[in-house]
Amino acid sequence: MKSITVECYAGSRPEEYPLNFYLSGEKINISKIIDRWITPEDRCFKVLGNDSNVYLLKYNANKDSWRILLKEKR
């Protein structure tokens, strides 16, 4: 897992869902949230980036940190 910087929409709660993130210095805009789910520790998002890749992002509120778990080429 790699730590990443994520810019989020903050609606009814902070870090509600990701809008874009930075991977190796490159800004990836999120075109679509494909799926989302909550575990006891994390909020997870499967997203489509504007680079046509699919990413799995995980936010841990206790640590206030984002991690990238997966990058799939489409």
> Across the chain, where does the E strand assignment appear?
2-9, 17-23, 26-38, 42-49, 53-60, 65-73
The SS3 assignment for 51 reads coil
> The whole model's pTM is what?
0.88
Do the Cβ atoms of 69 and 59 come closer than 8 Å?
no
pLDDT in tens, 62-72: 998 999 988 88
What is the per-residue pLDDT across 12-34, written as a single tens digit (0 to 9) for each? 776 789 999 998 889 999 999 99
For residues 5 and 65, what is the distance between their CA atoms, to the nearest angstrom? Answer: 8
Per-domain boundaries in the chain: 2-73
As a whole number of angstroms, the distance between CA 63 and CA 74 comes to: 31
- Of 9-13, 19-23, 39-43, the least confident: 9-13
